[in-house]
Amino acid sequence: MDIQLEKKKGLRPKHYAYIAAGALLLFVVWKMAFGTSLSTYRTDKEKLTIAQVTHGKFDDYITINGNVAPIATIYMDAYEGGRVTEKLIEEGAMVKKGDVILKLENTNLYEQILASESNLALKQNDLRSTKLTFDSRQVEGRRSLATASTDLQRTKRNFEQNQALYDEELISKEEYLLSKENYELSKKQYEIVKLQTENDDQLRTTSLTGLDEDLARMKKTLGMVYERLDHLNVRAPADGQLGFLDAEIGQNISQGERIGQINVLTDFKIEAEIDEHYIDRVKRDLVASFERNGQDYPLRVRKVYPEVRNGRFKVDLVFTDQKPETIRAGQSYNIKLQLGASSDALLLPKGGFFQSTGGQWVFVVTADENEALRRNVRLGKQNSRYYEVLEGLEPGEQIITSNYDSFGEAERIVLK
C-alpha cells in the first residue's frame, strides 16, 4: 500500500521573488521620505527674499549718518571758586572773546589779597631800613678810609724826612725809628680800613640784591593774586555762541568746575558713528561726500577716535570745499564714505542672512527653483548695497538673502 507524503511547509522560489519585490518597494518609499541625510525646512517662496549673483563694478564705500557740529567746542571751567553774584549773558547768545559772562565773589580770596599787600608793605619798609643802614655804614667807612689815607701820607712824609736827617746824623736814631714805626702802623691801619670798606660795599650789594629779588617776587605774587581776583569775572575764551551755562545767581561754584561751553561757529564739522567692523579700514584723510538739493559736498576724515562703544566708533569729517548755505548745528546727513577704489567683482545684494551666517555660508536656489541648498562661501568687502563675492558662487546663481534665523539647523530649504 502506498503512503501519501504530506508536502512540507516553507519558502518556495516564488516566495523569494515576492520578498525581493516588497523589499524594493520599502526601499523606494524610504528613499523618497528619508533618502537624504540633510535636515530640511519647508517654507513658502513668497516669504523669502531671493537675489541673483551678478558681475559688475564694486564701489568700495559705506553709507553712514552724521550730525553737524561746530568745528570746535571750548569748555569753560572756573579758574576760581566763588558764589555767583551776577549773570550777564544767557545761553544761546553770541559772545566775543573777553566778554564777561558771570561774576563771582570769594571772601577768602579778598583776605589773601589783603594779607599779600600787608606783607609787601612790610618787606618794602625792611628794604628801606636796610638801605639806610648800609648807606650810613658806607659813609662812615669812606670817612674812616679818608682819615687813614691822610694819616698814612703824613707819617710817610715824616718818616722820609727823618730818614734823610738820620742819614746825615742830624737826629737821633730813636727819633728815626719812632717815625718809621708810626709810618708802618699807619700803613697797616689804612689797609685794614680799606678792606673793611670793600667788604661793607660787597655785603651791601649782595644784601640789597637779595632784598630787591624778594621784593620783586612778592610783587609778582601779588600780581598773580590780582589775576586770581580778575578770574572771578568769568569771560568768554573765544568768539562764538554760548552753548550752555550751568550757573545761577547765588550758586557756589568750585574751582575747576565746568560751567559752560563756547561753540566756535567760524566753521562746521560732521560727527558720525561707524560699525566696528570697519575700524581697521577707516583712516584719516579718507574722502566722503553727501548730496543736498541736487549738489554734492565733498568731505575729508579729519579724526578717527580709537575708542569703541556699543560696537561703534566715532569719526570727525570736515568740508574740503563749499558747504550748504543753510547748514546748522544738529542737522543730519547721509554720507557716502569711500574706503577704496572701485573694482570689477561678483556682487551679492545685501540682506539679513549676513546676521545669521556672518557671511560664511548661504542658501543657493537650485536650477528648478524647488529647493535651496546650503553652501560655504567667502565674502570680501561690502558697501551699502552689495557684498563682494570672493569664492563659492557663480554669476546668475540665486541666493536667499533674507534672514535665516527661522531655518534653525536646516541644510536644505524646500520652496513651496
pLDDT at 24: 59
* Domain 61-102+232-340 annotated CATH 2.40.50.100: yes
3-class SS shares of the chain: helix, strand, coil, % to 5:
35, 35, 30
* Single pTM value for the model: 0.50
User: How large is the average pLDDT for residues 110-114?
Assistant: 81
Q: 25: which strand partners? A: none
pLDDT band at 33 (very low <50, low <70, confident <90, very high): very low
pLDDT at 392: 92
| Cβ(229)–Cβ(108) below 8 Å | no
pLDDT band at 244 (very low <50, low <70, confident <90, very high): confident
- For the record, the C-alpha cell of 367 comes out as 536650477
pLDDT at residue 148 tops 80? yes
How many other β-carbons are positioned within 10 Å of the β-carbon of residue 170? 10
pLDDT at 12: 55
pLDDT band at 16 (very low <50, low <70, confident <90, very high): low
User: How large is the average pLDDT for residues 283-311?
Assistant: 92
Compute CA distances 310 → 172, 334, 372, whole Å.
Answer: 118, 21, 35
pLDDT at 34: 47
| Cβ(401)–Cβ(354) below 8 Å | no
pLDDT at residue 102 tops 60? yes
pLDDT band at 307 (very low <50, low <70, confident <90, very high): very high
Compute CA distances 276 → 14, 177, 309, 403, whole Å.
Answer: 74, 109, 9, 21
pLDDT at 220: 80
- For the record, the C-alpha cell of 89 comes out as 549773558
The fraction of the chain above a pLDDT of 90, given in percent, is 34
Of the two residues 87 and 124, the one the predictor is more confident about is 87
pLDDT at 10: 53
pLDDT at residue 351 tops 80? yes
Of the two residues 7 and 112, the one the predictor is more confident about is 112
**What is 36-59+343-415's CATH number?**
2.40.420.20
Of the two residues 33 and 224, the one the predictor is more confident about is 224
Query: Which of 3-7, 148-152, 245-249, 412-416 comes out lowest in average pLDDT?
Result: 3-7
Query: Which of 8-22, 148-162, 170-184, 382-396 comes out lowest in average pLDDT?
Result: 8-22
pLDDT band at 18 (very low <50, low <70, confident <90, very high): low
User: How large is the average pLDDT for residues 269-298?
Assistant: 91
Q: 319: which strand partners? A: 299
